[in-house]
Amino acid sequence: MARSEAVLTWGLLAACLAMAALALVPRLAERPRPLQVQASSVTASIEGAVARPGLYELPWGARVADLVAASGGLAPGAARGLVALADPLTDGEVVQVPRTTDGRGVPRISLNEASVDELERLPGIGPALAQRIVAARPFTTLDDLLRVSGIGPAKLAGLRPRVRP
């Protein structure tokens, strides 16, 4: 009886291995297909101190520098140091290229370097708000001003032409 159990056990084991092999054959025979990615384009807008502000369609993976080049380059008086040319573009992005002066040729005030007295000369900035701006330094972008209590989107829009980070 022990011999017949051993034969039966080996037979079942062989049958299981055969079934496993049959299940794996289709997977082993299948060749992986290369991944095909369809690169779309990005549409971005550029405003401010460039030769031709407007809406541009660029290939996916384009950078801010590519958008500046497509718009004809930076205009005289553009604050090149305030534009992150290496940043990748995202679809629907608006890139602002600020000027080194306001519209009347007056140099823009540095939020990171200006004294409280200089900040108070800005429209809508009093002594208390100037102190809060100084306390919130450093600023990397103008949008960082929104974290200062008393400055909202409307006040920021009025300050944009007159200040720089």
The topology under which CATH files domain 109-164 is DNA polymerase; domain 1 (1.10.150)
Residue 102 has pLDDT above 90, yes or no: no
Query: What's the start-to-end Cα distance of the chain, in Å?
Result: 91
Helix ranges (H only) for 78-163 are 116-120, 127-135, 153-159
Query: Mean pLDDT score of the chain, rounded to an integer?
Result: 87
- The model's pLDDT over 136-159, given as tens digits with 9 standing for 90+, comes to 999 888 889 999 999 999 998 888
Count the Cβ atoms, other than its own, within 10 Å of residue 3. Answer: 7
Residue 116 has pLDDT above 70, yes or no: yes
Strand order in the sheet with 41-48: 54-59, 41-48, 94-97
* 41 DSSP assignment: E
Residue 2 has pLDDT above 80, yes or no: no
Count the Cβ atoms, other than its own, within 10 Å of residue 106. Answer: 10
Q: Does residue 86 contact residue 66 with C-beta atoms inside 8 Å?
A: no
Position 32 scores a pLDDT of 75
Backbone angles phi, psi at 2, to 5 degrees: -65, -35
Position 9 scores a pLDDT of 87
Residue 109 has pLDDT above 90, yes or no: no
